[in-house]
Structure 1
Amino acid sequence: MVVHNGNPQKKALIKGGHEKVIQARLEDGEFYFKEDTRQKLSSRVSALNGIVFHKHLGTLLDKTKRLQFLVKKIAEKLAFSEQDTKVVTEAAKLAKADLLTSMVGEFDELQGFIGAEYALREGVSKKVANSIAEQYLPRHGKDVLPKTKSGAILSIADRIDTLCAYISIGLMPTSTGDPYALRRQATGMIDIILSFGFDISIPWLATITYKRLAKDFKRLAKETEVVLKTTQLAKARLEFRLSQTGIDYDIIRSVAKTDTGRPVDFKERTLALQSIRNRENKALQDIITVCNRASSIADKNFGTKINTDFLIEKEEKAFYKLLLKTEKQLDEEILKGKYKEAIRTLSSLKKTIDLFFDEVLVMVKKKELRKNRHALLNRFVLACLRVADLSEIVKDQT
C-alpha cells in the first residue's frame, strides 16, 4: 500500500515508479538470501571475533560466549528441563551470527528474524529458531514480547549483559543522555520478567553477569557499584511501568523502600496494596495508623529482642502473644505471595495495639521495662516492613 498526495491524473505513472523501487529491493533481497544460504549460519559464529562489541568490552564472539553462560544459569534458576536448557543454549550460540550476513547488512531490521530462517534451513529445531527470532523483542516500548520462554530468557540475558557491560565501564545513562539506550534495554527486560512471571532477582542477574564479564576484562568498575547501579536502573524502569498501570505513586514508593530486587514480587505487593486501598481502605488505614504510631515512638537502638520476664501488663502480654501468632501467619502468607491476606493479618492487630498504647506506658522509668516495650514495638514495625514501608503511604485525612 502506498499513500501519496500527487496529481491523481498521474496515478499510473506514480504506481509504476513505486513498483520499480519495490521490485529492485525484492530482487536485492532475493540475491542476498541466495548468497547467504551458501554458508551455514553456524559456520559464521567464529567470525564474530572480527566484530567489535565495544572497544573496552571485546567482540561479539565474547558476548556470544557470555550469553551461552547466562542463559544456562537463568534456565537452571527457573528449573528448566535439560532439553529446554539445551534449546536456549544452542540459540544463544547462534543468536548473533546473522549480523555477518548480507541480508542483515542491507536490511538491518531483519536481524534475528533472518537468523531464525537460516537456522531452520540448516536443520536447527523450530524451538531454537523461534528463540533466535525473539531475542531482540521488544524492540521498543510498544512492541510485542517474546512468546516462548527460551526466547524470553535469551532476550533477558542479552539485555542484562549489555546493561552490566556498559555500566561497568562508566556508561551509565544520565538525565541528559542515554546514547546506548540502556533505559530501553532495562524496560524491555522488566516487561519480559513481569509478563512471564519469572521469579528472578535483578541483583542476582547483575552479579552473575558481572562475574562472567570480570573473567574476560579487568578494567571494570567494582562489582558492588555495577550491581547497585544496574539494580537501580532496572528498579526505576519497573516503578515507571507500574505507574503506567494505575498504581498510586505512594504505594509504589512504599514497596520500593523494602524491595527484594524481584520484579514479580514487587508487582504483586503493589497490586495487593492498591487492591486493598480500592476495596478495603479501612483495613489499610488501620494498619498505617498503628504502624506509624509505633514507628514514631519506638527507639530502634533497643532492637527487637524481647524478654518475656519483663512483660508485666496484661495488654503487653496480649500484644506479644498475638504478635508471635501474626509473625508465623505472615511467614506462610508472604512465602505464598498472599500479600492481601498479609495486610489483613497486620490490620487485625489494631485493637490489641490500641489497648497497648492506652494502658501501657512505653517510656517507663525502669530501664528493663522501657527497653522491652521499645523492642516489642520495633518487632511489630519490622513485621509491617515485610510487606511495605507503610509510612510512605499517604494516609487519608477523612
Structure 2
Amino acid sequence: MANYLLEIGLEDMPAHVVTPSLNQFAQKAAKYLKENHLDYQNIEKFATPRRLTLYITGLADKQADVEEDVKGPAKKIAQDADGNWSKAAIGFTRGQGMTVDDIEFRELKGVEYVYLHKAIAGKPAKAILSGLIDVIKSLTFPTRMKWGSYDFEYIRPIHWLVSLLDHDVVPMQLLDITAGRTTQGHRFLGEAVELADASDYVDALRAQKVIVTPAERKQLISDQIAQIAKDNAWTIDLDADLLEEVNNLVEWPTAFAGRFDEKYLAIPEAVLITSMKDNQRYFYARDAAGKMVNAFIGVRNGNRDYLDNVIAGNVKVLTARLEDAAFFYAEDQKKTIADFVTRLQTVSFHDKIGSMTEKMARTATIAGLLADQVGLAAADKAQLLRAASIYKFDLVSAMVGEFAELQGTMGEVYAKLAGETPAVAQAIREHYMPTSADGDLPASRIGTLLALADKLDSLMSFFAVDLIPSGSNDPYALRRQAYGIVRMVAANHFAFDVNALQQQIASAFAANDQLSGLDFTKNAQAVADFFRDRVNQYLAGEGVRHDIVDAVTASRTVDVEAMIDAAAILQHHAADADFKPVMEALGRVTRIADKTPTTGSVDAALFENDSEHALHAAAAKVQAAFDAQPNEANYQALAGLTPVITDYFTETMIMAKDDQIRTNRLRELTNLAALIHQFGDVAQVIVK
C-alpha cells in the first residue's frame, strides 16, 4: 500500500471558490481512480487560498487485473461459407487489441457468436496516477483567466505542482510547469520546501507557517476569537458563512480586535454590520446587555509581529467607510419618503417595462387582490397598500446608493424614522424575501403579501415582454422569485390559482389604466407552466415520490397550494394497504374520461344495471360535500368509491353500441373524473 500527494499551487483564489473547487477536485479524482480500477482507502483534502491538495492513502501498487469475455458478431457474420474471416470479425478483434486467432464461438439462445477472452494485467499505480493531470485540467470554476501567452484558462495562474507517490515523483506536465516535490510555504513567513515523502506534507508546511487542514484552521480562528470575547466580556457572533470565507483567505490565521470612534454607534446597526462584515470581513461584538460595541474583530494572514500596525491600518480603513456611512445617513434624513418616491419616477425598472413608479402601482393593485383573496382585515389591508405605495423608496437613498446590499433594510429604518407603522416598515424590508432558494421567508402576513405581489408583478411583466428564462439563462432571477412564491404559498396555505390570478390581475390593470402597452395575457400559459415546474422542484426537495409529483403537477389548473396539498395527502396514504386498489379504481375512471371527455347531465333513465345507479348516487353524494381544495375528507370520499367503481366496471360496458347509453356513461365518468383531478392525474401514480 502507498500514499500519493497531489498539490496544485496557485495565485490566491477568491475565498468563495476554494471549498467548492477542493470538493470537485476530490470527486473527479475518485471517479478517475474508480474508472481506472486503482484501489485506495481514503482521500484527504487540504486547501488554502494558494493550494488545492489531495492526499490519497492506501493505494494499491497497481491496477486490479481484469478478466472479461467480450461478445462480438454472430458466427454467420464473422465467417463466410468457406470459413474465411470477415472484415467484421477482423475489425472486432483489432478493436479489442487481439487477433482472429483468439476467437472462440459460444452458443447463445441457439445462435453462435464470436467471443474473446481478455486477461488484462493491471498497470503500475504510477502510470495511472500520471493521468490525474487531466483531472486537474478538467476542473471548472465560476470565472476563469488566461496568463502569459497561453490559451489555457483556470481560476488563477498555476505556479507549481507536487506529485509524490510516497518518496517518488509521478511525472506530470502542465504548460511550462513540471511536477516535482517542492511546495511553497507562507508567502511572507515561510519559504519553499522539498518534501522527502508524501507523508511529510502537513508537518513540513506547518513549519513554513501554513496550516493546510481547513478544519484545523477554522477551529484556530474560532478559538482565538473566543479568547478575545472572553478577555473583553463581549459576545461575538461567529457567522458561519463569514467564518468560512475568512478561513479561505488565510494560511496562518491570527485574530485581533480593533476599536473605532464611539460616535459611529449612532449609525443604524445594519449599516455598521454591513461595513464590518460584508465590506471588510470583520466580526462584530456586543456587550453583556446585547448592545453593539465600538469594536471589530479581524483575522490576519500572518503572525503577531507588528500587530499594532495591522490593527491601526484596519481601523483607518473602517473609519473611512463609517465616515461615508454617517454622511449618507445624515443626508438621507434631510428628505421625506415622499421626496424619494417622487424620484422613483425617473428610475427605470426595465426599459421594456417601465419605471419603478409604475411597478409599485402594479404591485399595489396585485397586493389589493391578494388581500381580498386571503381575507385580510381592512386595517391590515390599508397598511399593506401603504407599504406597496412606497416600498421601493430607499433605492434612491444615498445610503443604498453606496451600500446596495442594504436595500429594504434601510427602507425599514427610514420608514420607522418617518413615522410609518412597524408593520409597514417591516413589510418594506421583507418584500425582498426569500433572497435565495432556501432563504428566510417573510415573518409577517403583510410582508408576505407584499413579497408575493412584487414577485408576481415581476414575473408577469418580464413574460409580457418575452423576456422568458431559457436553459440556464435567467438574468432577472425569475426562477428564484417563482420558487420563493411557491415556498411562501406553501408556508402560509394561501390558495394561489395562477391562471385565475393572471386573469384577475390583467383585468385590474386594464381597469386602472396600468397596462402601459403591455399584454399581460399573451404568455399567461407560459407563466402557469413556469410555476408548475417550480412546484415540481419544491415537492422533489420535500422528498415527495417522483410519480406523485408527476401526478399532482399534471393538474389541469395550476393552483400552487392545491398541488402541494394533494401531494402531501397522496404521499401520506402511499403506504396504506388499500392505496393500490384506490389508485387503480380512480385511475381507470380518469383514463377513460380523459380519452373521451363528454360533458353534460347524466340521465338515470338510461341506466341498465344496479351498478350504474349505485355509482351515480355515490358520486352525487361525494360531489355535494366536496371541498374546493384538496383535503383529507375529499381523499377519503373518493377512496370510499373504490368498491362502487369496481362493481361498475365489472357490470358495465362503457362503450355501448347505443349512442345515447354510451354518451350517458361517458358523462358519468367525466363528471366523476373532474373530482378526481383535484388530486392531479392519479393514473400516473405507480402502484405495485
Fold conserved (TM > 0.5)? yes
Match of 2:574 in 1: 277
The yes-or-no answer on 1:78 pairing with 2:401 is: no
Report the secondary structure of 1:144's partner residue: coil
User: Does the CA contact (< 8 Å) of 1:362 and 1:370 recur in 2?
Assistant: yes
User: SS state of the match for residue 349, structure 2?
Assistant: strand
For the aligned residue pairs, the C-alpha RMSD in angstroms reads 2.4
Q: 1:145 to 1:23 in 2, by over 3 A?
A: same
532, 557, 562: which one aligns with 1:235: 532
Q: Which amino acid aligns with 2:685?
A: I
Give the drift of 1:255. Answer: 1.5
SS in structure 1 of the partner of residue 574 of structure 2: helix
Match of 1:351 among 643, 656, 660: 643
Q: 1:64 aligns with which of 349, 356, 360?
A: 360
Conserved in 2, the CA contact under 8 Å of 1:165 and 1:213? no
> Alpha carbons of 1:64 and 1:345: their partners in 2 closer, same or farther (altered >3 Å)?
closer
Q: Deviations over 1:184-213 (max 9, x none)?
A: 111122222222222233234333444566
Change over 3 Å in CA distance of 1:85–1:324 after alignment to 2: closer
Q: Which amino acid aligns with 1:53?
A: F
The residue that corresponds to 1:207 in the other structure is: 503
- For structure 1, the residue ranges without an aligned partner over 5 or more in a row are none
* Counterpart Cα distance in 2 of 1:47 and 1:93: 13
Shift of 1:324: 2.6
1:353-376 superposed Cα distances (whole Å, 9 cap, x missing partner)? 333333344444444444444443
Asked if structure 2 preserves the Cα contact closer than 8 Å seen for 1:48 and 1:59, the reply is: yes
- Say whether residues 1:293 and 2:591 are aligned partners: no
Q: Does 1:389 align with 2:681?
A: yes
Query: Partner residue of 1:148?
Result: 444
Give SS of 2:434's match: coil
Bigger relative contact order (CA 8 A; separation at least 6) = 1
Q: Deviations over 1:76-132 (max 9, x none)?
A: 222222221211111122211111111001001111111211121122221211111
Aligned pairs, number: 389
Q: How does 1:1-398 map to 2 (within 5 A)?
A: 1=283, 2-211=298-507, 215-217=513-515, 219-221=517-519, 223-278=520-575, 280=576, 282-296=577-591, 300=596, 303=599, 305-329=601-625, 331=626, 334-335=627-628, 337=629, 339-396=631-688
TM-score, with length taken from structure 2? 0.53
State which structure, 1 or 2, has the greater radius of gyration over its C-alpha atoms: 2
The residue type paired with residue 308 of structure 2 is A
Which has the larger displacement, 51-60 or 251-260?
251-260
Summarize the Cα distance change of 1:18–1:389 in structure 2 as closer, same or farther, 3 Å threshold: same
- Alignment partners' CA distance in 2, 1:354 and 1:136: 52
Greater CA deviation, 169-178 or 79-88?
A: 79-88
Counterpart of 1:381, as a letter, is: A
Is the contact made by 1:160 and 1:209 (CA closer than 8 Å) also made in structure 2?
no
Q: Is the 8 A contact 2:569 2:632 kept in 1?
A: yes
One-letter code of the match for 1:238? Answer: V
Q: 1:8 to 1:98 in 2, by over 3 A?
A: same
**8 Å CA contact retained: 1:342, 1:387:** no
Q: For the residues of structure 1 that align with 2:567 and 2:383, how far apart are their CA atoms?
A: 35
Task: Encode CA deviations 1:258-287: one digit per residue, 9 max, x unaligned.
Answer: 253332222111101110113x2x332112
- With over 3 angstroms needed to count, the CA separation of the structure-2 counterparts of 1:75 and 1:254, relative to structure 1, is same
What secondary structure sits across from 2:301 in the alignment?
A: coil
Q: Secondary structure at the match of 1:261?
A: coil
Counterpart of 1:42, as a letter, is A
**8 Å contact kept, 2:539–2:564:** yes
Which structure 2 segments of 5+ residues have no match?
1-282, 284-297
**Structure 1 residue 243: deviation in Å?**
1.3
Q: Secondary structure at the match of 1:166?
A: helix
Normalising by the residue count of structure 1, what TM-score does the alignment of the two structures yield?
0.89
Q: Which has the higher helix share?
A: 1
Contact 1:91 1:131 in 2 (8 A): yes
Once the two structures are superposed, residues 32-83 of structure 1 have per-residue CA deviations (whole angstroms, 9 ceiling, x without a partner) of 1011111122222111111111112221122222223222232222222222
1:241–1:292 Cα change, 3 Å: closer
State the secondary structure of the residue aligned to 1:250: helix
For residues 116 and 23 of structure 1, what CA distance do their matches in structure 2 show?
A: 25
| Larger strand fraction of residues | 2
Match of 2:518, as an amino acid? L
Change (3 A) 1:349 1:204: closer
Distance 1:375 1:65 in 2: 46
| 2:506/2:521 contact within 8 Å kept | no
Deviations 1:282-324 (A, max 9, x none): 3321122123334555662654643222222233333333333
CA 224–312 in structure 1, closer or farther in 2 if over 3 Å, else same: same
Contact 2:464 2:521 in 1 (8 A): no
Does the C-alpha gap of structure 1 residues 342 and 216 become closer, same or farther in structure 2, counting only changes over 3 Å? closer
